[in-house]
Structure 1
């Protein structure tokens, strides 16, 4: 998804990963030309040694949905997928649509078009828990990182059902950790922020897959050096993570958002917890570039990143009595907007 600008570079990155022992490639119909780029490359490798996953967005039209799966198979130049995911069960409406898709999904699986069914989600914790509890899926793709542990209960639920747990983009969505700010680098020394993030996830035996998402071959080096490090966190690693928590507490003081989500729902549909999480990271770790990257998605990425920006606050005060830490939420929202509003950026699927 990050290396689609240069087809030659894309090919070199895929070849390096597979040559080094990576055996799982995950893509999606919505990832620009990714499937088209991948198709010819896969012919150079033993198909039986590669677990290929692709994803198609839910639709209320079953025929259109299956056409999407068939189109992905054609673009990838394969006759089956190891794993097929419904891409983005992000809203209750999406979940309702999926209820109408079961007959065509079951038929496609019986026809051998894919082996295992899963779903990815950018939805709320209650929605994610509901979809997991349905028992319909073999795996789930989630946003869960050291810097964002809100979906920890979903990790536990999926593990209880023996589901595969795929972590979406620890390097990029987990904090743009290929290019971390100096403050964060210093706090993580002698490790790197990216290395600690991978170790935090790899040491959790419930998690089965991490996506890497390299844009260039060199971005494979550190993940490949850590891929087999599945042992529990060392005392030094634990100490540094604890120091990160302490530093964040010291830097934010009484203005820290504890991510309890009790401030929701907001009458203005402001995504209060996520905005204040980004503020936490910007203030404590100088992660302003990451904060701007995510904050600018509000009001621009629809259900993939729902909610409105902080400047939409009308000082209604609805959230204030619900906050157990008595945060001055309207003031913090305005402060975050000033810090992170930046310039708008193009999304992958936009012209």
Structure 2
């Protein structure tokens, strides 16, 4: 296992962190998963108030394992709120469930809207956090986000935060500028769910598997991220011990991409362009805003992946969250398009966006999905 400095916190975190959103089966399984993670070199555990019984199970596991406090770092997350008393109450409840005296890191969970950022900057919220830090209950403050790139950049520029948890993968590089700015400001960078949100790469399509040979798609995505030294740590959302084995096989592989890996990435790019031809969305985001609030770039990104790499299962998984996950996955589905034409003159590729939105809906729509902890 390799370790990297988590930005200005100066914490030395393992390059893989155990994310516990899926650690919900039982206290016993959670304890075994944590014990295995620690044994394999992971020293950073991440949870949230919103993850069902995750904090409670994690607290019981840490108590049973009797790990010395200096052998692990722990992050939990609390929702944004402008209310000072609410933050104080939530924080004390989390510490009680975790059976800890202090948190190494506290993250505001989901700065996904401009209103959320305003709440965090409000006097009440900041006072509560500053007081918790002065009392020794919290060491460092960060935020997680599923928001727009513009919002993430604005949050980073406030200089309120020591680290950021965000989405960034080979198949979704929109947040490249946020990674660069966070690094420039010496913030720790934590990548959310690279296996799952990064493309359901633990169950890749046959097309994607063949294109990535001799590597697996999951291995390539991990290597893409680990080779980027601006990134501190990647989340592994293991629900049971055996799910740690595959990702941690490359936990000591953070060297620059070698020629064979670069050749595969070039093959992926060439196949992508050849299969999409004149329907390829370049993800420039110039089509927004949409009068019907359709998240056009994300809808068409999912179409890109389904058409180019047969990543239909992943596309359906994400597409079905539209209109069902609130600010965690905002936007309307493609069938809401009225063919008003507002987006057409703004598209540099001159795509027939209304037709492509309807095509995506036909390919990917089905039973709606919610976020894991809401199911």
Tell me which interval the TM-score lies in, with the shorter structure as reference length: over 0.9
Residue 213, structure 1, aligned to residue 237, structure 2: yes
Q: Is the 8 A contact 1:32 1:348 kept in 2?
A: no
Q: What's the offset of the Cα at 1:346? A: 4.4
Q: Is the 8 A contact 1:89 1:123 kept in 2?
A: yes
**Alignment partners' CA distance in 2, 1:207 and 1:2:** 23
User: Counterpart of 1:297 in 2: which secondary structure?
Assistant: coil
Q: TM-score, normalised by structure 1?
A: 0.98
Residue 12, structure 1, aligned to residue 32, structure 2: yes
Q: Match of 1:247?
A: 271
2:118 to 82, 85, 96: 96
**Alignment partners' CA distance in 2, 1:296 and 1:23:** 35
For residues 138-190 of structure 1, the C-alpha deviation after alignment (integer angstroms, 9 at most, x for no partner) is 10011000000001000000000010000001011101111111111111111
Residue 71, structure 1, aligned to residue 88, structure 2: no
Q: Match of 2:81?
A: 59
Matched ranges for 1:12-161 at <5 A:
12-43=32-63, 44=65, 45-100=67-122, 101-161=125-185
Q: Is the 8 A contact 2:324 2:369 kept in 1?
A: no
Aligned residues: 351
Q: TM-score, normalised by structure 2?
A: 0.92
User: Counterpart of 2:374 in 1: which secondary structure?
Assistant: coil
Q: Match of 1:233?
A: 257
**Alignment partners' CA distance in 1, 2:353 and 2:26:** 43
Residue 222, structure 1, aligned to residue 242, structure 2: no
**Alignment partners' CA distance in 1, 2:370 and 2:288:** 29
Q: What's the offset of the Cα at 1:47? A: 1.8
User: Counterpart of 2:142 in 1: which secondary structure?
Assistant: strand
Residue 203, structure 1, aligned to residue 231, structure 2: no
**Which blocks of at least 5 consecutive residues in structure 2 are unaligned?**
1-20
**Which blocks of at least 5 consecutive residues in structure 1 are unaligned?**
none
For residues 20-46 of structure 1, the C-alpha deviation after alignment (integer angstroms, 9 at most, x for no partner) is 110000111111111011001112122
Structure with larger RCO (C-alpha < 8 A, sep 6+): 2
More moved, 4-13 vs 268-277: 4-13
Q: What's the offset of the Cα at 1:250? A: 0.8
Q: Match of 1:322?
A: 346
Q: What's the offset of the Cα at 1:19? A: 1.1
CA RMSD of the aligned region, Å? 1.1
